[in-house]
Structure 1
Amino acid sequence: MTVSLGVAGSLGPDLLARLAPAVEDAGFATLWVNDTPGGDALAGLAAAARTTSQLTLATGVIPVDRRPATAIAEEVEAAGLPPERLVLGIGSGSAREGALARVSDAVDVLRARVDARIVVGALGPRMRRLGAERSDGILLNWVTADTAAAQAAAAHTVAAGASVAVYVRTAVDPAARSRLEEEAGRYAKFPNYAANFARMGVSAMATAFADSAALAEGLPAYERAADEVVLRAVTPTDDLEAYLAFVAATAPGA
C-alpha cells in the first residue's frame, strides 16, 4: 500500500523546495500539491523536483476550467518537470455545465503533449468512470473508507489497471483541529459535497483524521480501500516547521 503526502500550492515554491527532501526521506511515495488562484501547483512541483531525486510529484488537482490543458502542457514543458516522476491530476473545476466533455478533452490534449501519468479528480459516478476509462486513474476526496472501497472496486471493474488514490484530511497536532473543522465546514457548504456527505450519511469530519489516534485507527481501512492514501496535511500554521513536524509524525512506518 502506498501512503503519500498532500499539501497546499499556496505554500509556494521556496517552502516546497525545502519540504520535499524531508517528504522523500520519510518514505512518502508522492508529494501531492493542489492548485489554486493563489498557489501554482506546477511551479511548486518544479521547485520540489530540483531538491529530490525519486519522489513522485503530483498535482491534486488542476481545474481545467481555470487552466486549460494547453496551458498546463506548456508550463510542464517550460518548467522541465521530469515526466517519469510526474502525475497530472486534473478536475472539472467549478463550472458544472460541460464538465465531462471538458475533462475528456483535457485528457486528450495532455496525452498528446505530455509524457506523464494523468488522473482525474472525481466526485460523481460518471466522472469516476471517465477517469478510469480515459486516464491512468482517479483521485477521491472527502469520502469514508467504505465509500472509497466501493468506488475503487467500481473503477477497477471499468479498468483493472486504473489507479485509485484517496485524499484524507489529517491533523495530528491538537492546535490544528480548529483549522480542520473550518475546512470541513467550508466543504460541507458546497452543494456537490453536501449531497455526497448526505448520501454517505456522515459529516465532513467523519471522513478526516482529526488526531493521531484517529490516524492510527483509521488508516488501515483506507489502505485496504484504495491503491494510494494521500494524507492531506492540516497544520496549525503554514510555516516549514509545522510541516516538518507533520512529516515526522506521519511518516510511513513511523
Structure 2
Amino acid sequence: MVALKDAVGRYGIWSGALRSEDPALRAEIPEAAAELEELGFGAVWLGGSSGVEHAEPLIGATSRLTVATGILSIWQHEAPDAAARFLELDSRHPGRFLLGIGASHAKLAAQYRRPYSAMVGYLDGLEAAGVPAGRIVLAALGPKMLELSRDRAGGAHPYLVTPEHTAQARELLGTGPLLAPELKVVPDSDPETARATARDYLAMYLTLPNYTNNFLRLGFTEDDFTDGGSDRLVDAVCAWGDDDSIRHRIDAFHAAGADHVALQIVTPGSAPGAPEALPRTEWRRLAGLLA
C-alpha cells in the first residue's frame, strides 16, 4: 500500500460542495473529482461534518485520488458506526480513504464536553474495531491534540492556521506523521475586495473559542478578531493576490513543515455551511499556478 504522505501528495482540495446533497450538484461531483485527479491534486477533503458515505462516489470516479473527511465530528458519528463504514469502504477500495475526525466546537455540538478525553475514547473505539491508526488524522490545533495525532493517529489536519502554527505542529509531531493544514485561497488581486471576501467567510469562525484561543497562542490579540479579522489575521490565514502571491503563500506552509496543503477556494458570497457551487474554474487556476 502507498505510504500516506505519498498517497495525498503535496496539494489537495478542501470543499464542502464535494459532499453536497443537492441533486444537481451530486450529479456533477464524480466528474469534478475525476478532473481534480487529472489536474494533479493528490487528495480531496470533504469539508464540514462529513460522513464516510460521502466518499464513495468520488473514489468510484477516480483511480488514485485519496478522499478524506475534513472533518467527521465525533459527536455526530458514533465510533462503531464510523469504523464499520470505514472498513466496508476500505474493503472495496483499499487505501483510498482517509478518516479525518475532530471534536468540533461547543457552539456547534450540544454534546460537547471534555474534547480531549472524548477524542481518546473515540480513538479507543476505532482501534477496537480494527481501523488502522495510520489511516486516521485529527483536526488538531493545541499541543495536546497534536501530540495525540502523533501518538494515536497518522497525523494532523489543522484547519484555519498559519505557517507559524505549522512550524510548531511539525516540531511536536516529529518527522513521521502527516501534517496537512488547510489554507483558504481568495482568487482576487485587489486588496480591498479580497480581504472583504475573506472577512465575510472568517466572521463565523472568529466566534469559536477553539480558533481564537489558538490565534492568541500564536501572538494575535482580541483586536485581531473584530469585524471579520484584522488585515494581519486575514493575510496570515488566507492566500490572495496574483498567481505568484498565492503560490508564495502556499509555499510558506510547506517551508514551515507541511507535507500537504488542503486548499479551499473562497469567493464572494461564500459562507461556512451555506450551499455552494463547485469552483472548477478556480481549481484549474490553482493547478496551473502549482504546476
Q: Same fold (TM over 0.5)?
A: yes
Residues 157-187 of structure 1 deviation map (CA, whole Å, 9 limit, x = unaligned): xxx4211110011121578765432221211
Which has the larger displacement, 120-129 or 226-235?
Answer: 226-235
2:185–2:240 CA contact under 8 A, matched in 1: yes
Residues 180-201 of structure 1 deviation map (CA, whole Å, 9 limit, x = unaligned): 3222121112122122223323
One-letter identity of the residue aligned with 1:130 = L
Residue 169 of structure 1 corresponds to which residue in structure 2?
Answer: 184
Change (3 A) 1:179 1:75: farther
Q: Quick one: which of 64, 67, 85 aligns to 2:74?
A: 64
Residue 216 of structure 2 corresponds to which residue in structure 1?
Answer: 198
1:100 paired to 2:100: no
Which has the larger displacement, 199-208 or 133-142?
Answer: 199-208
Extract unaligned runs of 5+ from structure 2.
1-8, 107-111, 225-232, 271-275
1:33 paired to 2:69: no
SS of residue paired to 2:158:
strand
Task: Tell me the CA shift for residue 44 of structure 1.
Answer: 2.7
Q: Quick one: which of 14, 22, 29 aligns to 2:35?
A: 22
Distance in 2 of aligned mates of 1:170 and 1:78: 34
Distance in 1 of aligned mates of 2:140 and 2:131: 21
Distance in 2 of aligned mates of 1:77 and 1:199: 38
Q: Quick one: which of 209, 226, 230 aligns to 2:239?
A: 209
TM normalised by structure 1 equals 0.86
Distance in 2 of aligned mates of 1:45 and 1:15: 14
- For these two proteins, the number of residue pairs brought into alignment is 246
Task: Tell me the CA shift for residue 77 of structure 1.
Answer: 4.6
1:89–1:119 CA contact under 8 A, matched in 2: yes
One-letter identity of the residue aligned with 2:100 = G
TM normalised by structure 2 equals 0.76
CA RMSD of aligned residues (A): 2.4
Residue 222 of structure 1 corresponds to which residue in structure 2?
Answer: 253
Distance in 2 of aligned mates of 1:41 and 1:233: 21
Extract unaligned runs of 5+ from structure 1.
none
Larger Rg: 2
Task: Tell me the CA shift for residue 150 of structure 1.
Answer: 1.7
Residue 229 of structure 2 corresponds to which residue in structure 1?
Answer: none
2:138–2:157 CA contact under 8 A, matched in 1: yes
Q: How does 1:1-254 map to 2 (within 5 A)?
A: 2-8=10-16, 10-12=19-21, 13-36=26-49, 40-77=50-87, 82-95=93-106, 96-111=112-127, 112-115=129-132, 117-156=135-174, 160-173=175-188, 178-202=196-220, 203=224, 204-205=233-234, 206-213=236-243, 214-225=245-256, 226-236=258-268, 238-240=276-278, 243-251=279-287, 253-254=290-291
Task: Tell me the CA shift for residue 154 of structure 1.
Answer: 1.4
1:66–1:93 CA contact under 8 A, matched in 2: no
- The structure where strand makes up a greater share of residues is 1
One-letter identity of the residue aligned with 2:77 = R
Aligned-residue sequence identity (percent) comes to 26
Distance in 1 of aligned mates of 2:194 and 2:94: 34
SS of residue paired to 1:141:
coil
Distance in 1 of aligned mates of 2:169 and 2:89: 34
Task: Tell me the CA shift for residue 87 of structure 1.
Answer: 0.6
SS of residue paired to 1:251:
helix
Change (3 A) 1:155 1:78: closer
Which has the larger displacement, 164-173 or 51-60?
Answer: 164-173
2:86–2:99 CA contact under 8 A, matched in 1: no
